[in-house]
Amino acid sequence: MTVRHRALSPVRLAAIGLTLVVSLVTGLSGQAPLSLTLLSRDSRRSIPLTVINEQEMVALDELASIFQLSVREEAGAVTVTSRGRTVVLNPEQTIASVAGRMISLPTRPVRQGGRLLVPVDFISRAIGPITESRVDLRRASRLLIVGDLKVPRLTLVTEPLTNGHRLTIDAAPQTGSTISRDADHLMIRFEADALDVAIPALPPQPFVQAIRRVDAVTLAIDLGPRFSSYRSSTQSVDASTRLTLELLPAPADAPATGAPEVPAATPGAPAITAAPPVDLPTFGQPTVPIRTVTLDPGHGGADAGARGAGGLTEKSLTLAVARRAKAALEARLGLRVLLTRDDDREVPIDARTAVANNNKSDLLISLHANASFRPETAGAAILVAQFPDEGLARELLEPHRVPVFGGGLRDIELVLWNQAQIRYVDQSAVFGDALLQQLQPRIPLHARALDRVPLRVLASANMPAVLVELGFLSNSEQEARMGGGEFQGTVASAIVDAVLAFREYLRRAPEGER
């Protein structure tokens, strides 16, 4: 089931001002008990977790205290309320209603010792939407981030060189950093609120003795006896920033050569040739309105999304359709097509949109599947972002005249990151209608096949963007059909035809309406 996220206002985020760090320690005998550590700017507390049938569970009354929720139980249903929005739970089912929309949980709630325990995923899938909080649950690294905070994922790779050592750090989303030397240490400070990093085990070596965390945003490299100097470089790689750090010996230790060292060729490896010249655009050529498309297969990793009775999961269905659509778009239209994930891994919601923004995509299509309490409910739907204060936000998009250095004035546009989609909602609706026209004769559609709702995955997209619900996995007949190659290929073909129609629309539209 797709997790619904409302577009967040900066005022609301500032009011929340809360960062939660989840520390989930394996509860084996002799080790610390499994716990959830809540970290805010002013305090820290630990909440016990319970593992039931290999699922991590947290007491609902604990969450109610933290997030100021109202909980009541009647007629066998549990209702959780915040700011007029409700979640309805049935302790006997894995499906819940969140502000009128259905979500799927990895396991049903469990009663233990007079308390109701819910899966940890309930925090991001249900509490986040009804409290209008930005909630980012990172199961792999055991982190839960609430609020508008920058907590990049860091991936560290170390490798010894012939005469030195290389450390590569990928930070996603893109994050700046500064390097300084302090005696026998190199300090790397990241422009972030906190870091999501697992430091690899590293035995002491001539150039690196250890890598450790100094504080919330700083890593330290303890230098070895052969270290003398370093050189670093930074480059953007897709939605991440790659910092490459080479640790070098003193010149006397380096091999004496009269020319740069060239690595020996590996037998059977292709010869290294110069890169072909880059084709530069010719001025006066017509602009191609769509060059890059980003496809976003929803969910992934521990977050399976909706699950059908036959075992089909939302994460596997969306990835299968995305791969087919990517191949079809590249083959038929010659477009550059990106996937926010090409394997079974978790990708944060904001990182999905960042892939499209950072690669200057011309179109974003997020793929999901639905679920319902009613097994007869079926049909695909297309959703476009909606903003509660869209009229005011559009006024803010008007150019603002500001003074510039040296005198004079300049028109600039000020756009909040989580409202970037506002300027494209009309185009998004046009593409949504084009996709609807292509899907209508091919697959069953829901009664509300084209709708506008608050969706966080689309809110910060700086290009036309839609979310496609492929159908209801809770409908056994539709689940069986969606799992087949014929259905997936049909959807992929419809996406190609819709992109083609939308491209023609953009070519014909006056420049001011593009």
CATH number of the domain residue 236 falls in: 2.60.40.3500
Residue 246's H or E segment, with its range, is strand 240-248
In a domain, 365, yes or no: yes
pLDDT recorded at residue 319? 96
- Whole-number pLDDT of residue 432: 95
Domain-embedded: residue 260? no
Do 229 and 310 belong to one domain?
no
Domain termination residue (choose one: 91, 125, 146): 146
Q: Specify the DSSP class assigned to residue 504.
A: H
Reference 452, options 389, 390, 393, 384; nearest CA is 384
How is residue 441 written in tokens?
Answer: 């004769």
Name which of 320, 455, 308, 483 is nearest 381 in CA terms: 455
Amino acid at the residue 176: G
Nearest one of 184, 182, 183, 186 to 169, comparing CA atoms? 186
> Do residues 496 and 353 both lie within one domain?
yes
CATH number at residue 314: 3.40.630.40
C-alpha atoms less than 13 angstroms from C-alpha of 185 in its C-beta half-sphere: 14
Instruction: Give the per-residue pLDDT at 182.
Output: 86
157 lies in the same domain as 141: no
| Rounded CA separation 166/479 (Å) | 49
137 and 241: one domain?
A: no
What's the predicted TM-score (pTM) here?
Answer: 0.54
Report if residue 498 sits inside a domain.
yes
User: Is the domain of 124 the same as that of 161?
Assistant: no
CATH number, residue 84: 3.30.457.10
Which pair of structure tokens corresponds to residue 67? 């997030």
Instruction: State how far the Cα of 273 lies from the Cα of 253, in Å rounded to an integer.
Output: 31
Give 313's strand partners. Answer: 307
Distance in angstroms (rounded) separating the CA atoms of residues 248 and 260: 15
Question: What's the number of domains the chain is made of?
Answer: 3
Cα separation, 33 vs 178, in Å, equals 37
> Per the domain annotation, does 285 fall within a domain?
no
Residue 352 lies in a domain: yes
Q: Which mean pLDDT values do the consecutive 10-residue runs of the chain (514 residues) have? A: 41 38 35 67 74 90 90 90 91 87 87 91 88 78 80 90 90 91 92 88 87 93 92 83 91 50 40 39 56 94 88 94 94 91 88 89 95 89 81 48 49 54 91 95 92 87 95 94 94 95 87 55
Dihedral, 171, 177, 183, 185 alpha carbons, nearest 10: 0
- Judge if 125 and 162 occupy the same domain: no
Rounded Cα gap, residues 327 and 334, in angstroms: 10
- On whether residue 270 sits in a domain, the answer given is no
How high is the pLDDT of residue 94?
86
Half-sphere exposure of 24 (CA within 13 A, CB side): 18
Same domain, 140 and 203: no
Q: Let me know: does 369 contact 305? Beta carbons within 8 Å.
A: yes
List, in order, residues 6 or more apart from 361 with CB less than 8 Å away.
292, 293, 294, 338, 355, 463
**Of the residues 197, 229, 251, the one at which a domain ends:** 251
Q: Do 369 and 502 reside in the same domain of the chain? A: yes
The pairing of beta strand 380-385 with beta strand 409-412: unpaired
What is the span of the domain harbouring residue 72?
10-146
Asked if residue 489 and residue 348 are part of one domain, the reply reads: yes
**Whether residues 138 and 161 fall in one domain:** no
Regarding whether 298 and 207 lie in a shared domain, the answer is: no
- Number of CB atoms found within 10 A of residue 481's CB: 17
Note whether 389 and 306 are same-domain residues. Answer: yes
In a domain, 4, yes or no: no
Q: Would you say residue 80 lies in a domain? A: yes
pLDDT of res. 209: 92
Question: Among the three residues 188, 218, 251, which one is the final residue of a domain in this structure?
Answer: 251
